[in-house]
Each structure stands twice: as C-alpha cells, then as structure tokens.
Chain A
C-alpha cells in the first residue's frame, strides 16, 4: 500500500483483557518496528523485525507483550492481561532495510486505553 496501516486506531480494554494490534507495512519493506508512545513523551522502542525474524525484542516491557511477523509482511503486537500502565499509542514503522540510511515511515498508531 501507499503507507503503513494500523488497526484498530482506537482500542478500549478492561484491565486483564488481551488485545491484538495489527500493522500492515509498506509492500516490500524488509524492516518493521514497534514503538510505544506514552502521553506527552517521545516514542520508545519495543521490537524490530527483519522479514519474519525478530532480531531485537529488548524494548518489550514484560513477558505480557508479544510480537510476531510470521510471513515477513503483516505484524501483530499482542498484549496479554492488560494493565493501566499499558495505556499508550503503539506506533508501527517500516523501512526498506534497517541500516538507518532509509527513512522510517510511521503509521498513524493504535491508541490503547486500559480501564
């Protein structure tokens, strides 16, 4: 597609519920990133994929967070047993490669509110 598409745009979950956030990167983009942006803060790195391989998951806050990209295109970020501190905007970004030479294209984000 023309850009990075994320769904849902807004999600309200009760504490303890599981949520799944989807990212459709730009076609042909090898690298895919997830970032978490809390209110009033800059985005924080969560995880990085190159094709289907998850090369870095060091930013995932806890073992309740899980990300996958099984076929090297669409990615899903899953949060189990959501907590209030998980409330944030989750941004997905893709690039041709992960070298840093290519500009990242960000999606509009998925805003998660945990009640």
Chain B
C-alpha cells in the first residue's frame, strides 16, 4: 500500500521568507504527483501536477520538484505572504487513485 508522509506537520514563518515543504512516498510506481492547497472549511485546490516523467513544475512563486527514484517531492514557495497560510497536501496517483499525505499547515506571519 502506498504511504505518503509530509514533513513538517506545521510551519510558521515571517512574511517574505521562502517556504520548503517535503513529501515522501514508498511506492515509486506512480503516474503523477500533485500538490494541493486546502483552506479551512474548503475543498482542495490543485496547485501543481507533475507527471512521472517530469522533474519539476513551476507556477508563479511555486516550484515543485519530483525525484521518483528516491520517492521524494519538494514544494518551494518563494517570498511567502500571509495569503499563503493554508494546509498543503501532497498526493500521488497510482492508476486512478490518489494517496494523500496528512499535510503541512503553514502560517505566514505579517
């Protein structure tokens, strides 16, 4: 069974600092990896999707890397803002199923 782990569980940084969120998974036979954002009481918003053949994806201040052989992904958020405060979830796809980590809750202090 695919196991996905996210470290740290929570993170608090001052505004402007760069954020580094880590995700690891046990089964490297994945189809893709996604990073989601979840705000309290809301659903999940997909931030970045990395296909298994890719090494990274970028969108604005967000950059995600994927090392499938070592079972790791890292999400970088540059120049954090208070609006970035949320829970960030990593999920890997085997066939059609997503396996999620428990998330990293980020607080950006103004």
A is bound by B: yes
Q: Mark B36-53, 1 if CB is under 8 A from A, else 0.
A: 100001111110010100
Chain A residues near B43 (CB, 8 Å)? 4, 91, 106-109
On whether the beta carbons of B96 and A40 are closer than 8 Å, the reply is no
Q: Which of A42, A98, A100, A105 contacts B103 (CB 8 A)?
A: A42
Chain A residues near B44 (CB, 8 Å)? 43, 91, 93, 106
On whether the beta carbons of B102 and A103 are closer than 8 Å, the reply is no
Q: Mark A1-26, 1 if CB is under 8 A from B, else 0.
A: 00010000000000000000000000
A75 located at the interface, meaning its Cβ lies under 8 Å from any Cβ of chain B in the complex: no
Interface size class of A (residues with CB under 8 A): 20 to 34
Q: Mark A84-112, 1 if CB is under 8 A from B, else 0.
A: 00000001010000111101111111010
On whether the beta carbons of B95 and A100 are closer than 8 Å, the reply is yes
Q: Mark B1-21, 1 if CB is under 8 A from A, else 0.
A: 000100000000000000000
Q: How far is the CB of B3 from chain A (nearest CB, A)?
A: 11
How distant is the Cα of A56 from the Cα of B110 in the complex, in angstroms?
45
How distant is the Cα of A99 from the Cα of B43 in the complex, in angstroms?
22
A contact set with B: CB distance below 8 Å = 4, 31, 33, 35, 40-45, 48, 56, 91, 93, 98-101, 103-109, 111
Chain A residues near B41 (CB, 8 Å)? 108, 111
On whether the beta carbons of A42 and B4 are closer than 8 Å, the reply is yes
- Given known contacts A108-B43, A111-B41, what 11 new A-B pairs fall within 8 Å (CB)? A42-B89, A42-B100, A44-B100, A99-B96, A100-B32, A101-B31, A101-B51, A103-B46, A104-B46, A106-B36, A106-B44
Known interface pairs A91-B43, A104-B46. Does A42 touch B102 (Cβ–Cβ under 8 Å)? yes
Q: How far is the CB of B5 from chain A (nearest CB, A)?
A: 10
How distant is the Cα of A103 from the Cα of B96 in the complex, in angstroms?
11
B85 located at the interface, meaning its Cβ lies under 8 Å from any Cβ of chain A in the complex: no
How distant is the Cα of A93 from the Cα of B89 in the complex, in angstroms?
15
How distant is the Cα of A72 from the Cα of B101 in the complex, in angstroms?
30
Chain B residues near A103 (CB, 8 Å)? 34, 46, 49
How distant is the Cα of A107 from the Cα of B43 in the complex, in angstroms?
5
